[in-house]
A and B are shown apart, each in its own frame.
Chain A
Amino acid sequence: MGCHACEVACKQEHGLGVGPRLVRVIEKSPDFIPVYCHHCAKAPCKEACPVEAISRNEQGIVLIDNDLCIGCRECIEACPFGAMQFDETQEIAVKCDLCIERLLDNKLPACMNVCPTGCIHFAEKKNIASVFEKTL
């Protein structure tokens, strides 16, 4: 509903300044459209990357390796959701990692954790539909 708490929680968690927005809510009141990474099974960002800096781990989280990224922005062009972002200060692409360190700590992703309406969920493909059936 456009409170943007997820955006700031994400920036705080990932130490990001102005520029890259790994999650973003576009306001078209009364509608609010979240823009976020879908961690696609066949990820266009991963396929576009010329140096194989983007990978998909066994949990299905699509990750980018900061050290390998050459800042060519091919992935940003390729992502159909606008979820790939560019960090001008580091001159590399950045993306949602589902707060992988928090997950390891048994904590929810930062965006999900602060959301007052509980509209953010993550789960495997086969489970996500049931999550939404329950909550919406």
Chain B
Amino acid sequence: MKEVKKVRTVCRSCHGGCGVIAHVKDGKVIKVEGDPESPISHGTMCAKGLSITQLAYHPDRILYPMKKTGKGWERISWDEALDTVAGKFNEVKERFGPEAIMIGQGTGRDFESHFSRFGNMLGTPNMLTAGHMCYLSRIGATLTTCGRHPAIDYVNNPKCIVMWGCNPLWTNPDEYKGVSFWRAYKKGARLIVIDPRKGFLAKRADLWLQVRPGTDAALAMGFHNVIIEEELYDAGFVSQYIHGWDAFVDRVRKDYPLNRVEEITWVKQELIRKAARLYATTKPAGIHWGVPTEQTINCTDFTRAAVGLMAATGNLDAPGGNVFHQPPGTRSISEFSSHRSLSNEQRLKRLGGEQYKLAARMTIVTPKCAWDAILTGEPYPLKAGYLVGTNPVVSRANAKEVYKALSKLDFLAVSDFFMTPTAELADIFLPAGTWLEQNHVADNWKFHGYVLARQKVVEIGECWQDHKIFMELGKRMGQQWWDTVEDSLDWMLEPTGLTWEEFKKKGYLRGEPKFYKYREKGFSTPTKKVELYSTILEGWGRDPLPKYTEIPESPVSRPDLTDKYPYILNSGLRTPTFFHSANRQLPWLREIRPDPIVEIHPYTATKHGIEEGDWVWLESPRGRAKERAKFNTGIDPRVIVAEHGWWFPEIKSPDHGWEISNINMLTDNSHESMDPVMGATSLRVLLCNISRCENE
């Protein structure tokens, strides 16, 4: 029997970061285990990460570059593939300018550094990510408000945790993982859960606030109202470190009396009062918030109001509160991305850049602007694209429009693991490596103060890690890159005094924890204070104070629609087995969750003659999708919550059934529905109806 080699690396089956020990035998990974020495995951691993061997060695995985021919997909060499992409891109660049090429990623496979550098050096400002409504949107909002993203500090034991639209034991693992939350909670932290559904955490919470989906910003303003009225704020901090406190207090007192907040949010005044008191009087207290708060028109305003809560209560950059973790000293992702390579002239051409100024500052485009440009040719046409690890046909709002737009491109290259519905629209398919096939200074874009050594465990087929694809494609287009991926990592690590080889042995680096840094140098905002009154937003002609805007398609704003579409649809229910549109082909995970699930209250079900397990149609003014009904008594009967990301790899036709259960057949991406500065799409509130599928 040959010996089993153990390789220490880092998972990336979601946003990643968990330590892994991979067991390798005969050049194949036979098993993965959690790394007990990981400072992020402490030896735990989730269902997704544990299934990596089923992904990496899946019989349907594409292991070679392919081109689409009249007879279907055909295997080609890397040389031919890269020459084709570079040739097409150069052609478009010459005829229409580099801005006519869009590059896009999903939640990414930790190649953000190389992705942005490639785009900047190509000269295109049109970079699509998920960032308009996921993570980057909070980076943007916190940047304008307090200079940096304040992540909850579980290590220093918050005494009160506000879990706001988030279940880190299942998903949302951007900084600390569920295990870190759980450890802090088990040490006796009080727990406030804000969630439209009663789940595992809500059941254990000291207080559960069952909020109307999408109204989190109003609820945050309600918290402020209590904190101001009862003078629970940190007067010293407020007077010294908050810009625009008086104007903010006026806004809160005038526009957000608790009776109005109750009316907007459906949360009883007394409960809001209790929760605000508990948060403001328990020190330290931290807020951990999730994407549902961001995937609405109130994206930026909610995050700003939440930062206001951290600031007003003196929990900002206080140990056990929400802190600015110190970066570990590598070159920042921003420096690596070489944003300066993109000329001002090109930067000004960013689609939607004038309208969505915060997205532009975060160097991204909200996808709607790209689809508009492709379909209408305005303000100029997009002709070609490169999509990396993203499946927008399934994962972006208004799927029909996405499909139409991508189909219209003159040339599309995709890199991924499988032939997804999006990949099927491509001309060239580039086979990407999984995290088992990747060398990288992982987590370098996160705000938890760590970088982690993800080292290549195996090579599979002719798959390349995405970083290498960007580099080799870039070189063929005349861009300056390093010889190897590892050389680029050496450069990233240079300021730490470590080479990639040395870092690999070390495993991780952590920035020295330091608190109350603002006392020395203020906050990284124009006024050096926490800008509850944002001078940046004011400069953009936007409301400088946080507020709640009624969702454009809600029972309140569109009573004319409620006869036909009486329910609020909250789309994007996360599961612990799937990562957005990924993993549906992995047997271990699909066995746990074979079908797309929509959760409804049994009362709602009875009204429509629906029994648990029935297939049901969900229908909005834009389209319909089919999911399987699951009852949840901990959900408001007026609300329906549906899973996203569904397509069917087992359907072998090129559409792979993307229209059947895709919740984005229902979602809206109209400009009116999006966050006015970030372009966040409204995924958590739209109107829908439900009916039993006949003949199923």
Q: A residues engaging B (CB < 8 A)?
A: 1-5, 7-9, 11-13, 17-19, 21, 29-32, 113-118
Please report the C-alpha to C-alpha distance between residue A31 and residue B590 in the assembled complex, in whole angstroms.
21
Docked-complex contact B47 and A7, CB < 8 angstroms: yes
Docked-complex contact B198 and A12, CB < 8 angstroms: no
Docked-complex contact A5 and B200, CB < 8 angstroms: no
Partner of B50, one of A5, A30, A31: A5
Docked-complex contact A12 and B202, CB < 8 angstroms: no
Q: Does B346 contact A (CB under 8 A)?
A: no
Docked-complex contact B577 and A4, CB < 8 angstroms: yes
Q: Which residues of B contact A3 (CB under 8 A)?
A: 46-47, 169-170, 178, 576
Q: Which residues of A contact B33 (CB under 8 A)?
A: 113
Partner of A29, one of B44, B45, B632: B632
Which 7 pairs show the lowest CB-CB distances between chains A and B? Answer: A1-B200, A30-B203, A116-B179, A8-B50, A3-B576, A8-B47, A116-B44
Q: Which residues of A contact B201 (CB under 8 A)?
A: 1
Please report the C-alpha to C-alpha distance between residue A21 and residue B34 in the assembled complex, in whole angstroms.
21
Docked-complex contact B46 and A2, CB < 8 angstroms: no
Least Cβ–Cβ distance between B53 and chain A, in angstroms = 7
Docked-complex contact A116 and B178, CB < 8 angstroms: yes
Q: Does B43 contact A (CB under 8 A)?
A: yes
Interface string of B588-606 (1 = CB under 8 A from A): 1111100000010000000
Chain A interface secondary structure, helix, strand, loop or mixed?
loop
Q: Which residues of B contact A115 (CB under 8 A)?
A: 44
22 contacts between A and B (CB under 8 A): A1-B201, A3-B169, A3-B170, A5-B45, A5-B46, A5-B47, A5-B576, A7-B588, A8-B51, A18-B588, A18-B590, A21-B591, A29-B198, A29-B200, A29-B634, A30-B199, A113-B33, A116-B44, A116-B46, A116-B169, A116-B178, A118-B182
16 A-B pairs besides A5-B50, A32-B200, A115-B44 with CB distance below 8 A are A1-B170, A3-B576, A5-B44, A5-B46, A7-B592, A12-B32, A12-B588, A18-B588, A21-B591, A29-B197, A29-B599, A30-B200, A113-B33, A114-B44, A114-B50, A116-B169
Q: Which residues of B contact A11 (CB under 8 A)?
A: 588
Partner of A4, one of B177, B203, B592: B592
In the complex, how many residues of chain B place their beta carbon closer than 8 angstroms to a beta carbon of chain A?
36
Q: Does B495 contact A (CB under 8 A)?
A: no
Docked-complex contact B634 and A30, CB < 8 angstroms: yes
Least Cβ–Cβ distance between A2 and chain B, in angstroms = 7
Q: Which residues of A contact B591 (CB under 8 A)?
A: 18-19, 21
Least Cβ–Cβ distance between A26 and chain B, in angstroms = 11
Please report the C-alpha to C-alpha distance between residue A38 and residue B519 in the assembled complex, in whole angstroms.
57
Q: Which residues of A contact B587 (CB under 8 A)?
A: 17-18
CB-contacts of B580-625 with A (<8 A): 587-592, 599
Please report the C-alpha to C-alpha distance between residue A2 and residue B200 in the assembled complex, in whole angstroms.
8
Please report the C-alpha to C-alpha distance between residue A118 and residue B179 in the assembled complex, in whole angstroms.
9
Q: Does B75 contact A (CB under 8 A)?
A: no
Docked-complex contact B198 and A30, CB < 8 angstroms: yes
Please report the C-alpha to C-alpha distance between residue A18 and residue B169 in the assembled complex, in whole angstroms.
24
Q: Does B340 contact A (CB under 8 A)?
A: no
Least Cβ–Cβ distance between B182 and chain A, in angstroms = 5
Q: Which residues of B contact A7 (CB under 8 A)?
A: 47, 588, 592
Least Cβ–Cβ distance between B331 and chain A, in angstroms = 32
**In the complex, residue of chain A having the shortest beta-carbon distance to the beta carbon of B169:** A1
Please report the C-alpha to C-alpha distance between residue A9 and residue B337 in the assembled complex, in whole angstroms.
38
Docked-complex contact B45 and A114, CB < 8 angstroms: yes
Least Cβ–Cβ distance between A107 and chain B, in angstroms = 9
Please report the C-alpha to C-alpha distance between residue A108 and residue B588 in the assembled complex, in whole angstroms.
22
Q: Which residues of A contact B46 (CB under 8 A)?
A: 3, 5, 114, 116
Q: Does B514 contact A (CB under 8 A)?
A: no
Least Cβ–Cβ distance between B611 and chain A, in angstroms = 16
Least Cβ–Cβ distance between B318 and chain A, in angstroms = 26
Please report the C-alpha to C-alpha distance between residue A118 and residue B42 in the assembled complex, in whole angstroms.
12
Given contacts A8-B588, A12-B31, A29-B197, contact A117 B47 (CB under 8 A): no
Least Cβ–Cβ distance between B109 and chain A, in angstroms = 20
Please report the C-alpha to C-alpha distance between residue A4 and residue B179 in the assembled complex, in whole angstroms.
14
Please report the C-alpha to C-alpha distance between residue A123 and residue B576 in the assembled complex, in whole angstroms.
28
Please report the C-alpha to C-alpha distance between residue A113 and residue B587 in the assembled complex, in whole angstroms.
22
Please report the C-alpha to C-alpha distance between residue A13 and residue B32 in the assembled complex, in whole angstroms.
10
Please report the C-alpha to C-alpha distance between residue A9 and residue B33 in the assembled complex, in whole angstroms.
8
Of the listed residues A5, A21, A118, the one surrounded by the most CB atoms of chain B closer than 10 A to its CB is: A5
Given contacts A5-B50, A8-B50, A29-B198, contact A113 B43 (CB under 8 A): yes
Docked-complex contact B170 and A9, CB < 8 angstroms: no
Docked-complex contact B199 and A29, CB < 8 angstroms: yes
Interface string of B533-558 (1 = CB under 8 A from A): 00000000000000000000000000
Q: Which residues of B contact A5 (CB under 8 A)?
A: 44-47, 50, 576
Please report the C-alpha to C-alpha distance between residue A29 and residue B197 in the assembled complex, in whole angstroms.
9
CB-contacts of B323-349 with A (<8 A): none
Please report the C-alpha to C-alpha distance between residue A12 and residue B169 in the assembled complex, in whole angstroms.
21
Of the listed residues A4, A9, A19, the one surrounded by the most CB atoms of chain B closer than 10 A to its CB is: A4
CB-contacts of B608-651 with A (<8 A): 632, 634
Docked-complex contact A114 and B199, CB < 8 angstroms: no
Q: Which residues of B contact A116 (CB under 8 A)?
A: 44, 46, 169, 177-179, 182
